Amino acid sequence: MSRTPRGPKRSPTPTSSTFSSDMPPPPVPSSPVTPGIPKPLYLCSPFVEAALVKGNFKTIVVLPKYVDIMEWVAVNVFDFYTNLNEFYGVISECCTQQSCPTMSAGQNLNYTWINQDRKSVHLAAPTYIDYVMTWIQNLLDDENVFPTKSGHDFPQSFPSTVKHVYRQLLRVFAHIYHAHYPQILHLRSEPHFNSLFAHFLAFGREYELLDIKDVKGAANSPVGAGMLWERWREMGILEG
């Protein structure tokens, strides 16, 4: 089967002057998830139900007939990266060294970066996300990792590489939900962002790219956005 070349790898990251960084967020509901902790907006109605796609995401992640599974995974990872990068570009003015001094994704969860000395270090969220997106972009541009030419095979390490990419993209999603969902709401983009994340989760589980422990986090440091996994399963959007 001849492989159709993919389009340009990346669009320039968009910027926006739609809102200022000191924009007041929408009011936080008082109903708690646990005592003393306000319920996140993304778990509140009507935001948790907001979506562009109605029904179960299983139908849109199934491998199409006659399509190579490696190519299917590669194309979808490219699309997830591109769309998430564009979303982050729009709200990046609100993600600064001052507002996000750590890569937070929950009340007690801050992701760390493994540096060149193989040590875990805390980074401000914009720095962490820049490292992630640059690393993924370099992989996408590497013909030996993401081949685009007919006759070039995917390396044996491709499944492992994609799992690492997926884990890092999940962390970017988690930070945006935790720290910047008010900006998503201000732009009235919650249906788009929710559908992108639900598609990402469904695809990751279908092709074993996501560990459920990464989605939910530990009992003492849960991933905030991981609660959407259970909520959307209850709504029939995702499967277990």
User: Are the C-beta atoms of 115 and 137 separated by less than 8 Å?
Assistant: no
What's the alpha-carbon Rg for the chain, to the nearest Å? 18
Does 95 belong to an annotated binding site?
A: yes
Q: What backbone torsions phi and psi does residue 109 show, to the nearest 5 degrees?
A: -125, 120
Long-range contacts, stretch 24-30, CB < 8 angstroms, 24+ apart: 25/182, 26/182, 26/185, 26/186
Does 100 belong to an annotated binding site?
A: yes
Q: What backbone torsions phi and psi does residue 215 show, to the nearest 5 degrees?
A: -70, -45
Does 44 belong to an annotated binding site?
A: no
Sign of the torsion angle spanned by Cα atoms 51, 226, 96, 11? negative
Residue 88 neighbours by CB distance under 10 Å: 22
Instruction: Label residue 218 exposed, middle or buried (CB < 10 Å: 0-12, 13-18, 19+).
Output: exposed
Q: Which residues are annotated as a binding site?
A: 95, 100, 175, 180
Q: Which residues are annotated as a binding site for Zn(2+)?
A: 95, 100, 175, 180
